[in-house]
Chains A and B, each alone.
Chain A
Amino acid sequence: MSLRQRLVPYWLLGPGLLWLIVFFVVPMYFMGELALRSGSLTTGFTFTWEWSNLPASLSGHTEQIVRSFYYAGAATVLALLIAYPLAYAIAFRAGRFKLLLLFAVIAPFFTTYLIRTIAWKTILSDSSPLVGVLQTLTLVPPDGRVLATSGAVIAGLTYNFLPFMILPLYANLERLDLRLIEAAKDLYSSSRQAFLKVTLPLTMPGIVAGVLLTFIPAFGDYINAQLLGGTQQAMVGNVIQSLYLTQRDYPEAAALSFLMMALILAVVTVYIRFAGTGAFMGGKDEGTTDG
């Protein structure tokens, strides 16, 4: 192969990689540098290798970090419980309504994220009939609220990231070879056994991808906590946003962002190691998150 031919892929990749390096990698470096500065907005921030910013941002916001894990985790579990049967029904039971149902599932994407969250705020507001029904069913105390509670934030997160769970699950289920389930039944397994021993392991890649695609954005989200929660429901995202844009305490904000990124990377690595397809199939890990 001539040199010219060997350079072709680099020419094709060039513009995109350059864009990603200059506007994704380099900003990360700037954020890291900012996280190690000290000073205040009035005196200016100077770079002093201020490593103490990192533990300080952790101990100062432990409450919000723990809460983010709790909310995002709960939303991910709920989304999985809602999405799996739905994706299964669309893949195998929808018949000619398949396309229409898929359309309905991604329909929320066609309205602005903020506007649909505001719609939930209206639905969950104190005077809404839904809250009245919940009160009659004594799920909510008679004078209780739904808005500005953890439940409201978790419900909002679940709703907003549900399509991210449904789509990979559907893509995975759709490709499932139904003959394998038939084979299991021919070999006298019950429906439950066939599901647990054939369908579930084979759809593990979809579950892993869906969980990651739901958990990561939910963990970093601050819109739901801001619109549906009260002051007691702030998540890490809310703190970062307010430190950056309102209080302008850039070093602390940058340190907290870095910490958040590190936490997510750690969780994702551990998760892929243990819940990756390898653990279930007895083979080597197949790196399921990619494309």
Chain B
Amino acid sequence: MVDSKSPGGPPMAAAARGWAWLRRNALPIYAGFAVAYMLVPIVVIAVFSFGDTPRDKLTFGLNDGFTLEYWRTAFSIPELNDALFTSLRLAALSTAISTAIGTLMAIALVRHRFRGRRAANLLIVIPMATPEVVIGASLLSMFIYSSFALGFSTLLIAHVMFSISFVVVVVRSRLIGFDRNLEEAAADLGATPLATFRTVTLPLLAPGIVAAALLAFALSIDDFVISNFSSGTTVTFPLYVYGVSLRGIPVQVNALATMLFAVTVIAISLVLIQQRRAERMAAVRPEAIRPEAAAARAT
């Protein structure tokens, strides 16, 4: 604590300096705490995947020390494997469908002026502003009375439905900053509309589409609420976790969650690095890449 017995003395000055430092850096310190707060559960999940905790109760701490047991046996629970596989298949299919459909919609909304554009925009925004439980409940209402058999197909329908809006929003933001002169140049150089789309538009849109697809995949693989209403007896990864959470989760789930986290982080880092490199390549002149070319020209 601050020594206040000697006013004006060194301790006071130090305290004042400390206080000034604290004031100057209050924002970064606060931000540091906030980021730490965001990461706490992730760290807890990772640490627990190495912890030999009794299976039947949720205790805090690593009771019996460090073990790799649960990483080794991560894929040894058949129901868990099935659930994970179902989730991956579902996410892959729903990402493919929603990204394709959503990209076309984004192109229509940004590139064209047409009757009903406002209504279309509204229809895209409203699902994002609807609580998941209402979306799930309404889908179930329809499935009940149209005697749709609940299962993988209803899950796919639901996942594509809630992903579309997000895909449109992400791709649209990329399209708005799009330099259309490039397409005109291609057309001037004799490219057919299809060739222009394939060789100019699509590559330039690619980062937006990739980002949209990643988001759609993440939304699908993580979804619990809507899936809970439309799954029937099909079990996805989150549904499995929910099912076992009532009687204590196998530690392998923590190992798998950590693995999933690591894979996602690596995938996204690769995409980011690739994009940065592409941008840098586009910005530099040939000399920068091949110094000998510049040297040759100089002599």
Residue contact A86 to B241, C-beta cutoff 8 Å: no
Is there an interface contact between A23 and B157, defined as CB atoms closer than 8 Å?
Answer: yes
Partner of B134, one of A112, A220, A290: A220
Does A6 belong to the interface (CB within 8 Å)?
yes
Instruction: Say whether B228 contacts A104, CB under 8 Å.
Output: no
| B residues less than 8 Å from A127 (CB atoms) | 59-60
The 6 A-B residue pairs with the shortest CB-CB distance, nearest first, are A220-B131, A12-B108, A89-B31, A9-B112, A119-B41, A27-B138
Q: Does A134 contact B (CB under 8 A)?
A: no
CB distance from B22 to the nearest CB of A (A): 15
Shortest distance between the CB of B164 and any CB in chain A (Å)? 6
A69 to chain B, nearest CB (A): 13
Check A67 for interface membership: any CB of B closer than 8 A. no
Q: Are B104 and A13 in contact (CB under 8 A)?
A: yes
Q: Chain B residues near A88 (CB, 8 Å)?
A: 27
Taken together as a complex, chains A and B put the C-alpha atoms of A241 and B134 apart, in Å, by 10
Selected interface stretch from A54-62, A175-183, A211-219, A273-281: A211-219
Q: Is the CB of A257 within 8 A of B241?
A: no
Q: What are the interface flags for A76-97 relative to B under an 8 Å C-beta threshold, 1 for contact and 0 otherwise?
A: 0000001101101110010000
Q: In the complex, what residues of B have CB within 8 A of residue A85's CB?
A: 27, 30-31, 34
Q: Which of A14-22, A135-143, A197-205 contacts B (4 or more CB under 8 A)?
A: A14-22
Measured CB to CB, the nearest residue on chain B to A100 is: B35
Q: Does B21 contact A (CB under 8 A)?
A: no
Q: Is the CB of B229 within 8 A of A89?
A: no
What CA separation (Å) do A289 and B121 show in the bound complex? 12
Give the number of residues in B that approach A within 8 Å (Cβ atoms). Answer: 85
Residues of B within 8 A of A (CB): 27-28, 30-31, 34-35, 37-42, 44-45, 48, 58-61, 101-102, 104-105, 107-109, 111-112, 114, 117, 120-121, 123-127, 129-135, 137-142, 144-146, 157-158, 160-161, 164-165, 168-169, 172-173, 218, 221-222, 224-225, 228-229, 237-238, 241-242, 245, 249, 253-254, 257, 260-261, 264-265, 268, 272
Q: Are A17 and B38 in contact (CB under 8 A)?
A: no
From residue 38 to 58 of chain A, which have CB atoms closer than 8 A to chain B?
Answer: none
A30 interfacial contact with B, CB 8 Å: yes
Check A70 for interface membership: any CB of B closer than 8 A: no
Listed by A's residue number, 9 A-B pairs whose Cβ atoms lie within 8 Å are A19-B161, A24-B127, A27-B139, A118-B245, A123-B60, A221-B132, A240-B134, A244-B229, A290-B125
Q: Helix, strand, loop or mixed for chain B's interface?
A: helix
A110–B104 contact, CB under 8 A?
no
A31 at the interface (CB under 8 A from B): yes
B residues in contact with A244, CB < 8 Å: 137, 140, 229
Question: Which residues on A sit within 8 Å (CB–CB) of B140?
Answer: 244
Which A residues are CB-close (under 8 A) to B242?
114
Q: Does A194 contact B (CB under 8 A)?
A: no
- What 8 new A-B contacts, CB under 8 Å, besides A20-B161, A85-B31? A16-B164, A19-B161, A82-B37, A85-B34, A89-B31, A93-B27, A127-B60, A240-B133
CA distance A27 to B58 in the complex (A): 40
**Chain B residues, Cβ within 8 Å of A184:** none
User: Measured between alpha carbons, how far is A15 from B168 in the docked complex, in Å?
Assistant: 13
Given contacts A110-B264, A113-B238, A244-B140, contact A13 B105 (CB under 8 A): yes
Decide: A237 and B127 in contact? CB cutoff 8 A.
no
Q: Do B34 and A28 have beta carbons less than 8 Å apart?
A: no
Chain A residue at smallest Cβ distance from B104: A12
Q: Does A74 contact B (CB under 8 A)?
A: no
Q: Which residues of B contact A264 (CB under 8 A)?
A: 129, 131
For window 117-134 of A, CB contacts with B under 8 Å fall at: 118-123, 125, 127-129
**Alpha-carbon distance between A218 and B257 when the two chains are bound, in angstroms:** 24
CB of B104 within 8 A of CB of A15, answer yes
Q: Which of B102, B137, B224, B257 contacts A31 (CB 8 A)?
A: B137
> CA separation between A118 and B242, bound complex, in Å?
9
Q: What's the Cα separation between A105 and B36 when bound, in Å?
A: 9
Asked whether B257 lies within 8 Å of A27 as measured between CB atoms, the reply is no
| CB atoms of B261 and A110 under 8 A apart | yes
Give min CB distance, A46 to chain B, whole Å. 12
A27 and B141 form a contact (CB under 8 A):
yes
Select one of B107, B108, B224 contacting A113, CB under 8 A.
Answer: B224
Closest B residue to A235 by CB, please name it. B133
Query: A110-B261, A260-B134 known; A119 and B44 CB under 8 Å?
Result: yes
* Also in contact, A114 and B105, with CB within 8 A (given A85-B27, A244-B140): no
A105 to B109, CA, bound (A): 31
The reply to whether A114 and B238 contact each other, CB–CB distance below 8 Å, is yes
The distance from the CB of B127 to the nearest CB of chain A, in whole angstroms, is 5
Q: Are A115 and B257 in contact (CB under 8 A)?
A: yes
Q: Once bound together, how far apart are the Cα atoms of A268 and B27, in whole Å?
A: 31
In this complex, what residue of A is CB-closest to B87? A112
**Which residue of B has the minimal Cβ distance to A129?**
B60
Tell me, rounded to whole Å, the shortest Cβ–Cβ distance linking B27 to chain A: 5
CB-based contact A291/B101 at 8 Å:
no
With A9-B112, A12-B104: A111-B261 Cβ-Cβ less than 8 Å: yes
- A10 to B114 Cα, complex, angstroms: 9
Let me know if A105 and B101 touch, CB within 8 A.
no
| Bound Cα distance A217, B38 (Å) | 18
